[in-house]
Structure 1
Amino acid sequence: MTTPHKDEFGNPVGHPVENWHGCDMPPRSDMVGDHVIVSPIDVARDARHLFEANKVAKDGGRFTYLSTSAFDDFEAYKSWLEGMASVNDPMLHAIIDKASNKAVGLAAFMRIDTTNGVVEVGNVNYAPALSQTIGGTEAMYLMMKRAFDELGYRRYEWKCDDQNAPSRAAATRYGFTYEGTFRNAIVYKGRNRDTAWFSIIDSEWPAIRAAFEAWMAPDNFDENGKQRKRLQDLRG
C-alpha cells in the first residue's frame, strides 16, 4: 500500500501532477491504420456509404442503445450527420475500411475536458462490415493512441447503458476498467438508462497499447484469419 500524500495540515491528498497545463482539443485530422482510417466525418463522402452499410443489418437492433433509432430514410440520416458534423463535441469520426475505401462505422470523441485531460469515446456504431473485424479493433486503438500518445490525456472513458451487454463486453475486451453504474442517469427513447462507467488511465495505457499491437500483428492470425491469442489474454 502506498503512503498517501498530505497537505500542509496533514490531510491526505492526491499525488502531485507536475507541470500540468491541460490538453489540446483533438485535431480534425485522419488517424491511419493498416486496416482502417478514422477520419472526421465528411457528410458528402460518408453519408451514403454509412447508410447502405447499416441497411445490411436485418433489423435496427444496432441502434437500440444509441440516442437515435435506425434510419430508414437517407435524407433524414444525412441531416442527422450534418448536425453532428457542425459541432466540436461530440467530434464525430467515420471509420473507413481501407480495402473498399468506404465508411463502415462511426465513433466520436466527446465530453472533451481539456482542462483535466479527460475524454470519452462514444456514439460508436459499427455496421456489419466492421463488426468483429481487425479493423474494428484497430479503430479503437487509433483513437486511444491519439488521446494518450499524441495529446497527453490522463483519462479515457467509455459509458453505455447498463443493459447493453455487447458494449460492456467490448469495453472489457479493449482494456477498460469498470468503475460502477450511475442509476437513473438518463431518460432516452422514453425509458430509463442506468449508465455503466468504464475508464483507462494514462498509467495503464502502455500495457494496453502493447497488447493491442501484439494482437494486431499478422503472426497472431492463422491462414484463415482466426486469432491465435485473444486481446484480453495478451494483457496478462
Structure 2
Amino acid sequence: MSESLQHWQPAKTPDNRTLEGIYIRLEKLDPARHGDDLWLALQGPASDPKLWDYLPYGPFNERSAFDEWLTKNAASRDPHFYAVIDRVAEQAQGLLSLMCIVPEHGRIEIGHVAFGAPMQRSPKSTEAVYLLAREAFHLGNRRLEWKCNNDNARSKRTAVRLGYTFEGVFRQHMLVKGKNRDTTWYSIISTEWPAVAAGFEKWLARDNQPKTGQIKTLEACRALAV
C-alpha cells in the first residue's frame, strides 16, 4: 500500500540534537571533544584492518590528516555527521552520518559508517543505525537509503539484517580510490518503518541482550512485529 501524500510536507533537515539510546548516544561530531577517542577507535592498534576498504578515504597514517578529515566532516551539513558515544565508557567509538538529504522529496540516506572494533557485532552498532533511522523518519522523510559497493559483502549482509529492502545494482556507478564501484541500493520506506522500528526495539531491549549475547535475532524480532 502506498503512502497517502494528502497532508505530507517537505521533511526537516537534521539539527544538532543529541539522540539518546540505551547503549549509546549520538552527538553532533565535534573534533575537539571526540578526536582523541576516534583516532584510537578507528586507527589505534586494536582497530579493524578492513574498516577503510570500501570507504572513499582512509586509512590515515598521520594524526594531522585524520584531524583535517574530522574537521571537514564536522563542518558539513550534508553529510551531517554524528559521533557514537558508548554510555558506559563515555568514549566516542565510531561515527556515521545522515546524507544525500533531499527534503523536498523526503529522501535521506545513512552512510559514511565507520565503527571501531568495540562497536562491531554488538548492540551499539545496531542502535546507532536505529537512532539515525528513527530520526530520519521523525524529520518527515518518506525514504531511507543504504548504498554500498557491490563487492562489500559485509555491508550488504548488514543492510538486509537491519531491515532494508534490496532494490538493485547501479553498474559502473563510481570510481573510488581509482577502482570501479558498482553500487548496490537498499531502502526502507515510511510505510515499512513502524514494523522495522518495532523489531529494532524488541531486539535492543535489555531483556533480549543479556551479557551472554542476544536471545532473539533482529530478524526474529522484526518478524514478531509484522
On whether the aligned pair clears a TM of 0.5, the verdict is yes
Q: 2:166 & 2:148 partners in 1: Cα distance?
A: 11
Of 181, 193, 196, the match for 1:193: 181
Return closer, same or farther for 1:127/1:21 CA change in 2, 3 Å cut-off: same
Q: Cα distance, 1:59 vs. partner?
A: 6.0
Residue 153 of structure 1 aligns to a residue whose secondary structure is: coil
Residue 228 of structure 1 aligns with an amino acid whose one-letter code is: I
Deviation track 1:151-204 (CA, whole Å, cap 9, x = no partner) reads 121000000000001100110010000000000000011100000000000000
Q: Which of 1 and 2 has greater Rg? A: 1
Q: Cα distance, 1:16 vs. partner?
A: 5.4
Are the aligned partners of 1:60 and 1:69 in contact in 2 as well (CA < 8 Å)? Answer: no
Of 71, 90, 97, the match for 1:108: 97
Q: Cα distance, 1:70 vs. partner?
A: 1.1
User: Does 2:142 match 1:144?
Assistant: no
- Aligned Cα root-mean-square deviation (Å): 1.5
Q: 2:4 & 2:41 partners in 1: Cα distance?
A: 48
Residue 172 of structure 1 aligns to a residue whose secondary structure is: helix
Partner of 2:13: 25
Residue 225 of structure 1 aligns to a residue whose secondary structure is: coil
Of 47, 51, 57, the match for 2:35: 47
Structure 1 runs of 4+ off > 2 angstroms? 56-60
Q: Number of residue pairs matched?
A: 222
Return closer, same or farther for 1:210/1:74 CA change in 2, 3 Å cut-off: same
Return closer, same or farther for 1:201/1:58 CA change in 2, 3 Å cut-off: closer
Of 104, 111, 116, the match for 1:122: 111
Q: 1:141 & 1:26 partners in 2: Cα distance?
A: 15
Q: 1:49 & 1:181 partners in 2: Cα distance?
A: 36
Unaligned runs of 5+ in 1: 3-13
Matches within 5 A, 1:128-207: 128-148=117-137, 150-207=138-195
Are the aligned partners of 1:134 and 1:216 in contact in 2 as well (CA < 8 Å)? Answer: yes
Partner of 1:56: 45
Q: Matched residues, percent identical? A: 37
Return closer, same or farther for 1:60/1:109 CA change in 2, 3 Å cut-off: same
Are the aligned partners of 1:60 and 1:70 in contact in 2 as well (CA < 8 Å)? Answer: no
Residue 117 of structure 2 aligns to a residue whose secondary structure is: coil
Q: Cα distance, 1:234 vs. partner?
A: 1.6
Residue 104 of structure 2 aligns to a residue whose secondary structure is: coil
Q: Cα distance, 1:225 vs. partner?
A: 2.8
Residue range with higher mean Cα deviation, 132-141 or 119-128: 132-141
TM-score (norm 1): 0.90
Residue 227 of structure 1 aligns with an amino acid whose one-letter code is: Q
Deviation track 1:24-77 (CA, whole Å, cap 9, x = no partner) reads 101111101111011110010111100111213466321000011211211110
Q: 1:60 & 1:39 partners in 2: Cα distance?
A: 25
Q: 1:106 & 1:126 partners in 2: Cα distance?
A: 6
Q: 1:15 & 1:229 partners in 2: Cα distance?
A: 31
TM-score (norm 2): 0.94
Q: 1:93 & 1:27 partners in 2: Cα distance?
A: 11
Considering Cα pairs closer than 8 Å and 6+ residues apart, tell me whether 1 or 2 has the greater RCO.
2
Partner of 1:215: 203
User: Does 2:82 match 1:93?
Assistant: yes
Return closer, same or farther for 1:178/1:123 CA change in 2, 3 Å cut-off: same
